[in-house]
């Protein structure tokens, strides 16, 4: 299934989900493993890489800038890096598809290299703002020519040597933080990022593993992450844990469909990513952690999730950074809870692959769920465990998480939920529909 070919999909109740499954490798870690390996000197080996279209866009970009990136028959990826400072001028534009992570982090890499690159993307990505990355990277010496509003297509020229800076994040964004740190890899001196609100820390963990001189300290202003430039990264053996964002769909599906009992293997439980588990447990979800362990520097466990009645909550706003990508799935859980769930403090949802607040408000409302929309979130009156009406149309807005979330909603609907285009699911979870069929005992999609 290609994200460029529309794939209409209709779904209604299928009965309980049962069985064991694995989810694709963590998308955030997959992107970073390719980039950092591409800057190391020598051969790195990556197991469990997410082979969705977003990550493949990162692989193609690193190849275009000189790294050798190969997938071997055993499923492992091997990367021979060019060294920090060794990126080559790409001969053609870097096509990012739907991947905002690829775009923003690669902009950081290029900012401190003396090369020029043009970024292009699909219609959804071309609407997303890049100004939040352009601003700090411009302070480091990079130059940008972008489409109106700081959007793609965009051409940038890096500066070598770049200027190290101290930068306080104006919004909680792991992508912006990472972009500045990656630019700092090849900038002489110390580059510092101050984040008043902590965000996912995959970049810090992995850069340290690759040998970068990086420190994290607490201060009255927030977490201060410092990186010493002109680094020399060493090749690594990496095992990518399962993506908690992908696992979230099955956690919600098993929670809302009576009789469900699923075990999701090897899920990453980085504390900056577990907000969805915290929120679902607050609602009464039955989520057990089995065999907690550390894989590749990241905590993981197998998660057993069984159906349980859910109750409405007021979602703590301070959970937002640790579950920003999982809000669409949480909104679906709220649609089946007993009472009125209020989820606010998630302004960032307005500028993801789609305006996820508006898209989910429309999708759930069209399928019989009572919604109140705020600028920074939603209030959702749930069905107290009963099926929702369904029967409505869903505009996925070229957003994989909207499509998958509403597939989950359809599992508890009386009438089919009709999604206009589920093809974007391939950007992050190519095997989603196969897994759905396996868990619900069907050989073919409905």
- Please state the domain extents for the chain: 9-25+241-439, 27-238
Tens digits of residue pLDDT in 297-323: 789 999 999 999 999 999 999 999 899
Interior CA angle at 200 toward 266 and 46, to 5°? 45
Same fold, 9-25+241-439 and 27-238: yes
Residue written as tokens 């040597």? 161
Q: For the residues 347-372, what does the mean pLDDT come to? A: 95
pLDDT at 351: 83
Query: pLDDT band at 368, cuts 50/70/90?
Result: very high
Tell me the percentage of the chain whose pLDDT exceeds 90.
Answer: 92
Binding site listing: 27-28, 32, 100, 128, 173, 175, 325, 352, 356, 401
CA dist 365 and 385 (Å) reads 17
Q: Decide: 367 and 420 in contact? Cβ < 8 Å.
A: no
Residue 177 reports pLDDT greater than 50: yes
CA distance 388 to 367: 7
Residue 445 sits at φ, ψ, to 5 deg, of -60, 150
Q: Dump pLDDT digits (tens) for 207-219.
A: 999 999 999 999 9
Dihedral angle at the C-alpha atoms of 105, 344, 273, 166, nearest 10 degrees?
40
CA 446 to centroid of chain Cα atoms: 27
Mean pLDDT along residues 338-359:
93
pLDDT class for 401, splitting at 50, 70, 90?
very high
The residues carrying an active-site annotation are 325
CA distances from 30 to 25, 55, 199, 242, 415 (A): 7, 7, 17, 10, 37
Mean pLDDT of 371-376: 97
140 close to 162: Cβ distance less than 8 angstroms: yes
Tokens standing for residue 77? 């990826």
Phi and psi, residue 380, nearest 5°:
-130, 125
Mean pLDDT score, 245-264:
98
β-pair partners for 69 = 79
Supply the pLDDT for residue 446.
37
Confidence check: pLDDT of 4 > 80: no
Per-residue pLDDT averaged across 404-425, rounded?
A: 97
Instruction: Return the pLDDT at 387.
Output: 98
Residue 410 predicted with pLDDT over 60: yes
Whether 164 shows a pLDDT value over 70: the answer reads yes
The pLDDT value given to residue 386: 97
Please give the residue that has the higher pLDDT: either 76 or 354.
76
Q: Which CATH number fits domain 27-238: 1.10.150.530, 4.10.490.10, 1.10.10.10, 3.65.10.10?
A: 3.65.10.10
Nearest to 185, CA basis, from 65, 97, 86: 86
314 C-beta neighbours (distance < 10 Å), count: 12
What is the C-alpha to C-alpha distance for residues 250 and 127, in angstroms, rounded to an integer?
A: 29
Tokens representing 234 are 């060493």
Sorting pLDDT into bands at 50, 70 and 90, what band is 352?
Answer: confident
Residue numbers in the known binding site for 3-phosphoshikimate are 27-28, 32, 173, 175, 325, 352
pLDDT in tens, 26-71: 999 999 999 999 999 999 999 999 999 999 999 999 999 999 999 9
Annotated binding-site residues for phosphoenolpyruvate read 27, 100, 128, 175, 356, 401
Indicate whether 109 pLDDT > 80.
Answer: yes
Query: Is residue 445 pLDDT above 50, yes or no?
Result: no
Task: Please give the pLDDT value at position 172.
Answer: 86
pLDDT at position 395 over 60: yes
Average pLDDT of span 77-96? 98
Distance CA 126, CA 154 (A): 9
Which residues 6+ apart lie within 8 Å of 280 measured at CB?
251, 252, 255, 287, 310, 330, 333
Query: Do residues 270 and 206 make contact, with C-beta atoms less than 8 angstroms apart?
Result: no
Sequence-distant (≥ 6) Cβ neighbours of residue 47 within 8 angstroms: 75, 76, 77, 237, 238, 239, 240
Check whether 443 has a pLDDT greater than 80.
Answer: no
Q: What is the CATH number of domain 9-25+241-439?
A: 3.65.10.10
pLDDT at 18 over 80: yes
What confidence tier does 5 reach under pLDDT thresholds 50, 70, 90?
A: confident
What pLDDT digit, counting tens, does each position of 116-145 carry? Answer: 999 999 998 999 889 999 999 999 999 999
- For the segment 321-327, the average pLDDT, to the nearest whole number, is 93
């Amino acid at each position: 299934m290609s994200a460029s070919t529309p794939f209409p999909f209709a779904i209604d109740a299928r009965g309980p989900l049962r069985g064991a499954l694995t989810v694709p490798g963590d998308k955030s870690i997959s992107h970073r493993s390719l980039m950092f390996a591409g800057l190391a000197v020598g051969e790195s080996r990556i197991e469990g890489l997410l082979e969705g279209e977003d990550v493949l866009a990162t692989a193609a970009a690193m190849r275009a800038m000189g790294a050798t990136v190969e997938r071997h028959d055993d499923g492992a990826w091997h990367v021979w890096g060019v060294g920090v400072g060794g990126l080559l001028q790409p001969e053609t534009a870097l096509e990012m598809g739907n991947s905002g992570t690829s775009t923003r982090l690669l902009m950081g890499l290029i900012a401190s290299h003396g090369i020029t690159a043009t970024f292009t993307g699909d219609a959804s990505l071309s609407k997303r703002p890049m100004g939040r990355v352009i601003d700090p990277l411009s302070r480091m010496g990079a130059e940008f020519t972008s489409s109106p509003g700081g959007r793609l297509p965009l051409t940038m020229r890096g500066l070598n040597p770049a200027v190290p800076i101290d930068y306080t994040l104006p919004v909680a964004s792991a992508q912006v933080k990472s972009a500045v740190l990656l630019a700092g890899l090849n900038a002489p001196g110390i580059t510092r990022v101050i984040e008043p609100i902590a965000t996912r820390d995959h970049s810090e963990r992995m850069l340290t593993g690759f040998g970068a001189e990086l420190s994290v300290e607490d201060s009255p202003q927030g977490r201060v992450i410092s990186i010493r430039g002109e680094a020399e990264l060493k090749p690594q053996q990496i095992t990518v844990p399962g993506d908690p964002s992908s696992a979230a769909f099955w956690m919600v599906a098993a929670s809302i469909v009576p009789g469900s009992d699923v075990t999701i293997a090897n899920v990453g439980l980085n504390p900056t990513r577990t907000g969805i588990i915290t929120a679902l447990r607050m609602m009464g979800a039955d989520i057990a952690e089995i065999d907690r362990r550390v894989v590749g520097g990241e905590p993981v466990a197998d998660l057993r999730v069984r159906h349980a009645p859910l109750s409405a909550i007021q979602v703590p706003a301070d959970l937002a950074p640790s579950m920003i990508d999982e809000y669409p799935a949480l909104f679906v859980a709220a649609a089946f809870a007993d009472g009125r769930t209020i989820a606010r403090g998630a302004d960032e949802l307005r500028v993801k692959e789609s305006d996820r607040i508006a898209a989910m408000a429309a999708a759930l409302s069209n399928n019989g769920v009572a919604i109140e929309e705020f600028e920074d979130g939603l209030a959702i009156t749930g069905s107290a465990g009963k099926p929702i009406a369904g029967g409505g149309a869903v505009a996925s807005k070229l957003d994989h998480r909207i499509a998958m979330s509403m597939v989950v909603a359809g599992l508890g609907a009386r009438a089919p939920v009709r999604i206009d285009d589920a093809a974007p699911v391939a950007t992050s979870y190519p095997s989603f529909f196969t897994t759905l069929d396996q868990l619900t005992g069907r050989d073919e999609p409905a």
